[in-house]
Structure 1
Amino acid sequence: MIHARLTAAALCGIALLLALPARAQAVPASASAQAPAAAVPAPRATDAALPDQALAMRAIQALPEVRRKAAEFDAARARADMRSIGNQEAQVTWIPQDRRVQDGTHYREWELDINKSVRWPNKYLLDTRIGQLGVEAARLGFEDSHHAGARLLLMQWSAWLRAGSDAAVSARIATLIEQERAMVARRVHAGDAAQKDLLAADAALAEARASAIEAGLAEQSARRTLAATFPTLPLPQRVPRVENPPALAGAAAQWQARIVDVSHEIGMARSTAEQREVEARRARADRVPDPVVGVRVLSDLGGREKVYGVILGLPLGFRYRGAQAAEAGAQAQAAAQDLSLVTREVHLSAAQVVTQAEALHALWRQRALAQTAATASLEKTRRAYALGEAGISEVLLAAQGASKADQAAGRAAVDALYAVERVAVDAHARWHRHAEAAHDGADHDADASPAGNAGAVKLPTLGE
């Protein structure tokens, strides 16, 4: 009777040990709180030359790069669940056997072993935290893919605007040269101009038409590239024209601070560095191996002997575990240096894009002044030619100067718009969830699977 009670008590103790990880997992570790990001600058109205916010967001979310990161985010959450659950599965061993003795007696015997590795509670907490940080890094990677998609859209859309501006200028110059050629032809017919003037006008017209064809092909190529990359984004029939690009509102230092504050690259590097540090702590904790506990039941001599036992085991291999801890510690130091490197690069990039936005707007203003002066010079030269005070070569030279000035001004306007919008995109004030929430006040579910809906990807909320 005493033996039976001791056996029952041992079995109860083993059951409690086996249940420890399951009970601990019912209380997940809380995620670390993040410092709130600086307030998003109030987004100004979208420029008429840019796509609508809702259409742009839909096109960016449909990118395969974004959907791939959404799938990786789901995979990271699955890995976090795996770490929280642990791989300490129970093992059942059933050993049936026959015993034959010399006198011919035959006994059927069996042995049943049930054992399980039990994870220490501190290891469970570390594993849970590693999983949380992995999810955070994957979520920020998903966010960064959306940000990269916004950059790509802005770059390809601006390339289309620039090509369209060149095509429009080339077409206008070809029309102008055609008008000049008609005027020269009339004067030649009237005997007021030499035949060589008509030949010069024909050559200039052919060159202008060739330039218009080349510019048109470039515009069509840019349009095809944009349509292929963002097939869900409707494109207007005519290329929008940038009339008056906006200047960068606010102080440059504030924009730089904002870009750094919301940087996904820094967030990913920070989460990865912390994850490597926790993994190093986990490796150091693993130098104390997890015990193996279980029960053992034997039936010998055809059931006439019953044996009940408790299994207690401890894996060996301390030198290998020490080397693992040293390797994990080195990885943590490398990740910390990666964070410093990424932070430095983001600071430099933020300063460059803000400075470029201010400089390119100033450049456009000068290009616009040069365009006005070149146009006025062309008009005066044309009037002088009509009065016989200037030759056709002077008119064609003035037209060439006006063409270059017009083209440079058009490109400068597009570049200025691109630079300002690049700052807005990097600051999450354009084509980003924050900007979208500012428009419609919509809340976003951080727990929703980004890849769960093939029609519309839900973005996790930054900072939760």
Structure 2
Amino acid sequence: MNRRMLYSMLLGAALAPMTVGSQPAVPAAEASPLPPASLALRAIERMPEVQAAAAELARAEADARLRAVGPHEFQLSVTPQRRRVEGGPTFNEWEAQVSRAVRWPRKARLDREIGASGVQAARLSLADAHHAGARRLLGLWSMWQRAEVVAQQQHAQVALWTRDRNAIARRVELGDAAQRDRVAADAALAQARAAALQADADAASARRMLESAFPDLPLPARVRLQAEPAALKGSDAQWSAWIVERSHEIGAAQARARMLEAESQRARADRMADPTVGVRVLNDLGGRERAVGLVLSVPIGVRQRGARAAAAEAGAWAAQAEVAMVQRDVVRDAREAVARARALQAVWRSRAQALRAADDSAAREERAYALGESGLAELLAARRVALEATLAERRAAVDAIEAVARVQVDAHELWHHHTGGSDPDEHEDAAVRLPDL
């Protein structure tokens, strides 16, 4: 065996275990691409948007109590006066009146309906804000995962070219390789390091965005994905139906429409103004004359009240149209989300097949270069193809995981209290850390 063959075998041994697309298998028990439900729920609940929606619910409840009580209160008026008779005595006199407007029974019933519908709309809006928070968490989490897996692969590429460059430099010293091979290897290593630095910056930026939006969510030190993303189980029609049936957005729009319809009826009923009933007491001539009377007054303003009723009725019509638009959009988005989950799973399978082919090609080029059957240019090209295939496959895996999780979030099967069995008042300690995903 000559010296060239010896160093070729050594270089081949160095190259073989470092194929770009190779990735250690992750045990199923450790492969958890999403944060635990308890931690996710706690982080979502502490979002400012969710807190604001909770405050709106408290405001709606207070408004419902106010409407149940009614807008009218007792009014007391007292008028003290002195009567002076020319050439006669001076008398102390006074006049007092207690009155209160009386709300018609139909108006009271409509006010209670308006308050109840407002509370229901606010409660569903709070649930929808929680749902929007879950979507935001999933989006930022997936963006961070994509950036992290790219950084991991770029660092693997640096390690690979560092080993190759050292082996090639050794061959050049022994006169078994041309100087241009070491220059090419140095250039490839420099490019890999630059790409790794850029990937680290992108991953750090994505991590900061996730931590900024969800500061209470602990993040793992690194990302790990399953060898094969889980597919969406069940039929497309069933998932779409669940998303539509459980949509808080539709429920909130319907509750607002009921509230505005009740307000429209209330405005029409208000064309008959509430009467004011009171008792009036007079004490004149120092008590020599006394009187007790009943006071009844009714406001008159038909044109103003009619215009107000017309405006409220138009608002109710607009709310009904909004319900139809929301239903249309939710049905469309539900079908699109399910179809996207299926499509991205197929994309991942195609990317995985392409990665296997690229890995095989890179391995053959490594062996050919080690045996002197091909040049470094061919190895560089094969390595670039393998790296691109690896990055594409890992991104496709994250896309598939996100798409399936998006369907589950929209169907309230993920990160919702009633499905995960998680009590929001029994969260784990904030210092707990996630395992590597």
Q: TM-score, structure 2 length as denominator?
A: 0.89
Partner-residue secondary structure (3-state), 2:80: strand
Match of 1:256 among 240, 252, 255: 240
Checking the alignment, whether the CA contact within 8 Å between 2:168 and 2:177 is kept in structure 1 is: yes
What is the rounded CA distance, in whole Å, between the counterparts of 1:244 and 1:231 in structure 2?
30
Per the alignment, residue 165 of structure 1 pairs with 149
Match of 1:421 among 397, 405, 408: 405
Partner-residue secondary structure (3-state), 1:136: helix
- Give how far 1:173 is off: 1.2
Match of 1:150 among 131, 134, 140: 134
What is the rounded CA distance, in whole Å, between the counterparts of 1:104 and 1:381 in structure 2?
129
Q: Which amino acid aligns with 2:278?
A: G
Q: Which amino acid aligns with 2:42?
A: R
Which string of whole-angstrom CA distances, capped at 9 and with x for unpartnered residues, describes residues 10-57 of structure 1? xxxxxxxxxxxxxxxxxxxxxxxxxxxxxxxxxxx9961211111111
What is the rounded CA distance, in whole Å, between the counterparts of 2:341 and 2:396 in structure 1?
11
What is the rounded CA distance, in whole Å, between the counterparts of 2:92 and 2:157 in structure 1?
104
Q: 1:46 to 1:147 in 2, by over 3 A?
A: farther
Per the alignment, residue 274 of structure 2 pairs with 290
Which string of whole-angstrom CA distances, capped at 9 and with x for unpartnered residues, describes residues 292-311 of structure 1? 10100000000000011000
5+ residue gaps, structure 2: 1-28, 431-437
Which string of whole-angstrom CA distances, capped at 9 and with x for unpartnered residues, describes residues 340-389 of structure 1? 11111111111111100000011001101111111111111000000000
Per the alignment, residue 302 of structure 1 pairs with 286
Per the alignment, residue 6 of structure 1 pairs with none
Per the alignment, residue 278 of structure 1 pairs with 262
Per the alignment, residue 378 of structure 1 pairs with 362
What is the rounded CA distance, in whole Å, between the counterparts of 1:230 and 1:326 in structure 2?
46
Per the alignment, residue 62 of structure 2 pairs with 78
Checking the alignment, whether the CA contact within 8 Å between 2:405 and 2:414 is kept in structure 1 is: yes
Per the alignment, residue 41 of structure 1 pairs with none
Structure 1 residue runs of 4 or more that deviate by more than 4 Å after TM superposition: none
Per the alignment, residue 66 of structure 1 pairs with 50
Q: Which amino acid aligns with 2:399?
A: D
What is the rounded CA distance, in whole Å, between the counterparts of 2:30 and 2:127 in structure 1?
22
Partner-residue secondary structure (3-state), 2:160: helix
Per the alignment, residue 339 of structure 2 pairs with 355
- Give how far 1:241 is off: 2.8
Checking the alignment, whether the CA contact within 8 Å between 1:242 and 1:414 is kept in structure 2 is: no
Q: Which amino acid aligns with 1:329?
A: E
What is the rounded CA distance, in whole Å, between the counterparts of 2:193 and 2:155 in structure 1?
8
Q: 1:135 to 1:421 in 2, by over 3 A?
A: same
What is the rounded CA distance, in whole Å, between the counterparts of 1:67 and 1:352 in structure 2?
30
What is the rounded CA distance, in whole Å, between the counterparts of 1:443 and 1:48 in structure 2?
21
Checking the alignment, whether the CA contact within 8 Å between 1:92 and 1:112 is kept in structure 2 is: yes
Which string of whole-angstrom CA distances, capped at 9 and with x for unpartnered residues, describes residues 187-242 of structure 1? 22222221111111111110011001111111111112212221111111122334
Higher relative contact order (CA 8 A, sep 6+): 2
1:206 equivalent to 2:190? Answer yes
What is the rounded CA distance, in whole Å, between the counterparts of 2:345 and 2:321 in structure 1?
37
Per the alignment, residue 23 of structure 2 pairs with none
Partner-residue secondary structure (3-state), 1:97: strand
What is the rounded CA distance, in whole Å, between the counterparts of 1:187 and 1:176 in structure 2?
17
Partner-residue secondary structure (3-state), 2:78: strand
Match of 2:351 among 351, 359, 367: 367
Q: Which amino acid aligns with 1:405?
A: A
Quote the sequence identity (%): 50
Checking the alignment, whether the CA contact within 8 Å between 1:242 and 1:410 is kept in structure 2 is: no
1:121 equivalent to 2:105? Answer yes
5+ residue gaps, structure 1: 1-44, 445-454, 457-464
Per the alignment, residue 306 of structure 2 pairs with 322
Q: Which amino acid aligns with 1:174?
A: V
Partner-residue secondary structure (3-state), 1:94: strand
Per the alignment, residue 8 of structure 2 pairs with none
- Give how far 1:286 is off: 0.5
Q: Which amino acid aligns with 1:182?
A: N
Match of 1:92 among 68, 76, 87: 76
What is the rounded CA distance, in whole Å, between the counterparts of 1:179 and 1:253 in structure 2?
52
- Give how far 1:443 is off: 10
Which string of whole-angstrom CA distances, capped at 9 and with x for unpartnered residues, describes residues 396-416 of structure 1? 110000000000000000000
What is the rounded CA distance, in whole Å, between the counterparts of 1:46 and 1:109 in structure 2?
91
Checking the alignment, whether the CA contact within 8 Å between 1:158 and 1:414 is kept in structure 2 is: yes
RMSD of aligned residue pairs (Cα, Å) = 1.7
Q: TM-score, structure 1 length as denominator?
A: 0.84
Partner-residue secondary structure (3-state), 1:143: helix
What is the rounded CA distance, in whole Å, between the counterparts of 1:148 and 1:443 in structure 2?
17
What is the rounded CA distance, in whole Å, between the counterparts of 2:262 and 2:405 in structure 1?
39
Checking the alignment, whether the CA contact within 8 Å between 1:46 and 1:53 is kept in structure 2 is: no
